[in-house]
Amino acid sequence: MKRILVAIAFALGLLAPAALQPVRADGAEITVPADVIVARIKAALPAAAKGRSHALRLNNAGRALRIPASASLADVQVSRLHFDERSGGFNAVLRLPAEGGAREESVTGRIEETATVPVIASNLSSGDVIGERDIAWIEVPARQVGGHIVTSKQDLVGMALRRPLRANSMVRHSDLQRPVAIKRGSLVTMVVATDRITLTAQGQALEDGGIGDRIRVTNTSSNSTVIGIVQSPREVRVMSGTRVAEYRR
């Protein structure tokens, strides 16, 4: 299982080229590590492809290409490469050292453009407020990042979660809300302010709301319902033009 995971990591280009030394198959041959193959193919890609952030995947990452134990990995080179820019697919012909000369092997795969996005670093619960330490960054296929995915750290810090999220989860905008400042059912001060006068009345919140959110509030004296903007955990400013009965100054 460990070998499979390592092979996948190499195919994705997630490990450094020098991560492994050649693996001896027997006394006469060594196996060319997948990361060496990936590095050679990346180096041979057209300039336009090199300028992108991308992951390179081999179609048969577990395939073993062997060379004589006396040979050098530096002799493993790409002799020909066909790359389809539209699909990202490639067919690379590798020139490998062999006893008495060299041989060629064909390797196929594809490259996929990637994007680096912020994710939740550890499991968080509904209502948890996200801090800078709660954020990590991962590289994912760019096709997975639509307009619904949060791509900026600034859009995460200080926001609360609407639902639990597991570690390394990308965050949707719909997963976020302002931290709840006023909870449904709590008593608040309703405020209407004009240039000349400020009126207040006691109200009861009919829904949760964060600072800046609009919520419905019932005047506890008149039972009339109005819309207000949350100013603080105890104050709701009634929107201009909304009538609230029985204020006291």
pLDDT in tens, 205-218: 999 998 889 999 99
56, containing H or E segment: strand 54-58
pLDDT for 81: 94
d(CA 86, CA 101): 36
pLDDT for 16: 40
Q: For the chain, how many residues are written?
A: 249
What confidence tens digit (pLDDT) does each residue in 142-186 have? 888 999 999 999 999 999 999 999 999 999 999 998 898 999 999
- Residue 89's identity, in one-letter code, is G
Residue 62 has pLDDT above 80, yes or no: no
Contact, 68 vs 97, CB < 8 A?
yes
Model confidence at 137, pLDDT cuts 50, 70, 90, reads very high
Any residues with CB less than 8 A from the CB of 7 and at least 6 apart, and which?
34, 61, 62
Residue 27 burial class via C-beta count within 10 angstroms: exposed 0-12, middle 13-18, buried 19 and up: exposed
pTM value > 0.85:
no
User: And the tokens for 149?
Assistant: 């995915």
pLDDT for 63: 83
